[in-house]
């Protein structure tokens, strides 16, 4: 195979091409690689294949749609399936989210949500609200808005000139106090107060348009919010008229043991971003959800006949993505996958925490069907030890995500108990072998 023509994303291209890992097909919980090996998918692809691979209803819906209507313009034009997909998504969204704006990825959802926040304040005459606040270790994709409000150093530092008018509050990872917590850790709700301090000390509260956070930070290594933290953030935003955006690109669609983190954690944002699991990873699609108040404010501010929100993509509500989304949401509902995630969560938690005490295991964090196993960084540098463990697991037939020194697990919600045991026993053996 000629590997030359492709510039791989978020990859060490040179190293990878010396020893490529190539997947050729997938079904249910398993990938097959180019050597014919079965590999258990411990990370739902990239946190997206929540209903498992190759689900017949989803693949058929896409195939049929491609024959019926492959593409149609969606600017001042439309197609039936776009409206149907929005209706289905809004139906299963948390209470109070009445409108869906479709994008093609989590990154586009991030930038779209920031622009919606600006448009909303402008429509209300609060044109001074132009600043955004994100968090250290936050991840909101790779477009300019998302990179700017994101807080993973490695993703930002290479690009010096990001958006102005952005600030960050600290992350909530505190292994010293919260190490090996199960579910939401006990300590750290007070870090939310840093938001209020910061907006008074360094900014004017009336200059802040929105705060954007992931209810649980996935890409920075499964950082679960401390008990009470999200509610305090919510209260501060409400008090100062600041919109709160939840980036549920990972946490949506059952991942935290229920439908949305908004519901499992009991805190409702003003704007909710999703992607990934929306189409079970089959066709790229994301969405930004808002309530009628935000939609009506933006739309009613424009004169009749004018475009109210000058934003959208050629592939907004792409017919194949809409077909995939409708079928995926049907599968989640009919197969009870969000309930299944909740039922399996205690088993998943117990299996993850069984690795406590193994050499170099520094912390274990979990919620729903997500777990992060953080290792001590070796003298060779960040990610080297966990990278070796990840490679050994792959050789032993289990795929997982590596973020920094954390192994991240987020299997499809169809995972069974034996597969959960296989995932964590494979990690345990690999950790011992690397020690």
Which of these segments, 116-124, 133-141, 152-160, 163-171, binds ligand PLP (CB under 6 A)?
133-141
Query: Which residue from 247, 270, 374, 405 is in contact with ligand PLP, where contact means CB under 6 A?
Result: 247
Residue 219 makes contact with ligand PLP by CB under 6 A:
yes
Which of these segments, 19-27, 117-125, 151-159, 213-221, binds ligand PLP (CB under 6 A)?
213-221
CB 182 within 8 A of CB 224: no
- Rounded CA-CA distance 279/199 in Å is 37
Residue 140 makes contact with ligand PLP by CB under 6 A:
yes
How many positions of this chain bind ligand PLP (CB under 6 A)? 14
Which of these segments, 163-171, 186-194, 212-220, 231-239, binds ligand PLP (CB under 6 A)?
212-220
Which of these segments, 117-125, 198-206, 211-219, 382-390, binds ligand PLP (CB under 6 A)?
211-219
Site for ligand PLP in 43-72 (CB under 6 A): none
Task: Give min distance, CB of 9 to ligand PLP, in A.
Answer: 9
Residue 249 makes contact with ligand PLP by CB under 6 A:
yes
Query: Which residue from 107, 280, 410, 426 is in contact with ligand PLP, where contact means CB under 6 A?
Result: 107
The answer for residues whose C-beta is within 8 angstroms of residue 201's C-beta and 6 or more apart is none
Distances (CA, A) of 7 to 13, 22, 128, 159, 219: 7, 15, 41, 18, 22
Which of these segments, 105-113, 252-260, 307-315, 340-348, binds ligand PLP (CB under 6 A)?
105-113
Task: Give min distance, CB of 214 to ligand PLP, in A.
Answer: 5
Query: Which residue from 29, 62, 110, 119 is in contact with ligand PLP, where contact means CB under 6 A?
Result: 110
Task: Give min distance, CB of 301 to ligand PLP, in A.
Answer: 28
Residue 368 makes contact with ligand PLP by CB under 6 A:
no
Which residue's CB is nearer to ligand PLP, number 112 or number 219? 219
Residue 252 makes contact with ligand PLP by CB under 6 A:
no
Which residue's CB is nearer to ligand PLP, number 105 or number 268? 105
Task: Give min distance, CB of 284 to ligand PLP, in A.
Answer: 7
Q: Report which residue's Cβ sits closest to ligand PLP.
A: 106
Query: Which residue from 62, 208, 209, 275 is in contact with ligand PLP, where contact means CB under 6 A?
Result: 275
Residue 214 makes contact with ligand PLP by CB under 6 A:
yes
Which of these segments, 69-77, 103-111, 114-122, 401-409, binds ligand PLP (CB under 6 A)?
103-111
Task: Give min distance, CB of 286 to ligand PLP, in A.
Answer: 6
Query: Which residue from 50, 65, 105, 280 is in contact with ligand PLP, where contact means CB under 6 A?
Result: 105
Burial degree of 358 (CB within 10 A; 0-12, 13-18, 19+)? middle
Query: Nearest-CA neighbor of 249 among 224, 282, 273?
Result: 273
Which of these segments, 114-122, 234-242, 244-252, 385-393, binds ligand PLP (CB under 6 A)?
244-252
Which residue's CB is nearer to ligand PLP, number 275 or number 322? 275
Task: Give min distance, CB of 245 to ligand PLP, in A.
Answer: 11
Contacting residues toward ligand PLP, per CB under 6 A = 105-107, 110, 139-141, 214, 218-219, 247, 249-250, 275
């Amino acid at each position: 195979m000629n590997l030359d023509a492709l510039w791989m994303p978020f990859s060490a291209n040179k190293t990878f091409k010396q020893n490529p890992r190539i997947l050729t097909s997938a079904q249910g919980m398993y990938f097959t690689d180019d050597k014919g090996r079965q590999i258990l998918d411990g990370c739902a692809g990239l946190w997206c294949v929540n209903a498992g691979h190759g689900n017949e209803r989803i693949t058929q819906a896409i195939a049929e749609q491609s024959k019926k209507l492959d593409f149609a313009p969606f600017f001042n034009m439309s197609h039936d399936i776009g409206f149907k997909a929005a209706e289905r998504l809004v139906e299963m969204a948390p209470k109070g989210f009445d409108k869906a704006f479709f994008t093609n990825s989590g990154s586009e959802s991030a930038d779209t949500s920031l622009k919606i926040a600006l448009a909303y304040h402008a429509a209300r005459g609060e044109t001074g609200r132009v600043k955004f606040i994100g968090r250290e270790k936050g991840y909101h994709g790779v477009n300019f808005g998302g990179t700017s409000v994101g807080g993973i150093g490695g993703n930002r530092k290479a690009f010096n000139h990001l958006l102005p008018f952005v600030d960050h509050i600290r992350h909530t990872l505190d292994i010293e106090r919260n190490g090996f917590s199960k579910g939401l850790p006990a300590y750290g709700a007070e870090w939310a107060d840093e938001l209020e301090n910061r907006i008074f000390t360094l900014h004017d509260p009336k200059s802040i348009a929105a705060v954007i956070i992931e209810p649980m930070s996935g890409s920075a290594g499964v950082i679960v919010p401390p008990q009470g933290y999200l509610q305090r953030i919510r209260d501060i935003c409400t008090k100062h008229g600041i919109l709160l955006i939840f980036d549920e690109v990972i946490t949506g669609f059952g991942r935290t043991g229920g439908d949305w983190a908004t519901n499992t954690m009991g805190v409702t944002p003003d704007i909710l971003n999703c992607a990934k699991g929306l189409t079970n990873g089959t066709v790229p699609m994301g969405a930004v959800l808002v309530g009628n108040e935000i939609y009506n404010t933006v739309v009613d501010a424009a004169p009749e006949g004018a475009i109210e929100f000058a934003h959208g993509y050629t592939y907004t509500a792409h017919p194949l993505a809409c077909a995939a989304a409708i079928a995926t949401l049907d599968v989640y509902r009919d197969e009870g996958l969000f309930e299944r995630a909740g039922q399996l969560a205690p088993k998943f938690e117990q299996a993850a925490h069984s690795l406590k005490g193994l050499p170099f295991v520094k912390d274990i964090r979990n919620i729903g069907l997500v777990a992060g196993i953080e290792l001590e960084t070796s003298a060779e540098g960040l990610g080297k030890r966990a990278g070796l463990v990840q490679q050994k697991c792959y050789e032993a037939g289990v795929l997982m995500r590596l973020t920094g020194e954390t192994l991240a697990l987020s299997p499809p919600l169809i995972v069974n108990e034996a597969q959960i045991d296989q995932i964590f026993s494979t990690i345990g053996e690999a950790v011992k072998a690397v020690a």
